[in-house]
Amino acid sequence: MYMPPKDSHKGMNGKLMIIGGSGDYHGAPMFSILAARRFVDLLYLYPAQKDPYLINAVKTIPEAIVVYDIKRIKEMDCTLFGIGLSDAKFNYKKVIKESKKLVIDGDGLKLIKNKIPKGSILTPHEKEFQRLSGMKGTKENVKNMAKKWGCVILKKGAQDIVSDGKKVFIISNGNSGMTKGGTGDTLAGLVSALFCKNDAYASAVTGSYLNRYAGDILKKKYGFWYCASDLADSLAESYKTILKQ
């Protein structure tokens, strides 16, 4: 994993744009922002729907910069697209064309069904994987579809399955406290932040493991009674603990 060099300056260690959110779902991009904010230098939200409640909610997170010019996507190291999108109308083709690196989650997966961007990271749960591929999210199927589409797939579940079409990694730590809403959004935010400065497969595997490890840290503290924002706030502790091992 990339580590910031001593002579770093602002922006050198990751610039991430998150595109998503709607009047229906303002929490999703907030969870992704909370997860990513400690792992990149600069963090932007382009609201897919200009909903005032969404925008005002995101502005309560001081690290998040709300922007309204989609052209700024060209400045970013990575783009996370689709979280909390709901039925918001959005020119996703421009996002695919102009993003240097792309992570697609949630409702964004519905839009790219017939044209999977090569080199991207997809983060579907079981039903989303079945909708995309027409088959169950087994280890072999995930590997085959990653190879067919030329991308990395992080299939979320009781065990996460990550494949780039050649290698497959199964991540089985974590616990059932992570079934609460928003934990997938924290995962997407973390993976996207790591992808800014690392390759796709390593970002997906590491992000999955760290996210689930943070869940294990929280279980020791609170049992199963923790939430997605707790998970996002524990990711830095998770990373630091693993680095010491």
- CA-to-CA distance for 191 and 121, rounded, in angstroms? 9
Per-residue model confidence as pLDDT tens digits over 107-134: 999 998 778 999 999 999 999 999 999 9
Domains and CATH numbers, the chain: 15-244 (3.40.1190.20)
The pLDDT value recorded for residue 87 is 86
Cβ contacts of 148 within 8 Å, gap of 6 or more: 165
pLDDT by residue for the chain (245 residues), tens digit each? 999 999 999 999 999 999 999 989 999 999 999 999 999 999 999 999 999 999 999 999 999 999 999 999 999 999 999 999 998 877 888 999 999 999 999 999 999 877 899 999 999 999 999 999 999 999 999 999 999 999 999 999 999 999 999 999 999 999 999 999 999 999 999 999 999 999 999 999 999 999 999 999 999 999 999 999 999 999 999 999 998 87
Contact yes or no for 186/31 (Cβ under 8 A):
yes
CA distances from 127 to 25, 91, 124, 135 (A): 19, 24, 8, 10
The model's pTM is: 0.96
Residue 41: CA count within 13 A, CB half-sphere: 15
Per-residue model confidence as pLDDT tens digits over 71-114: 999 999 999 999 999 988 778 889 999 999 999 999 999 998 77
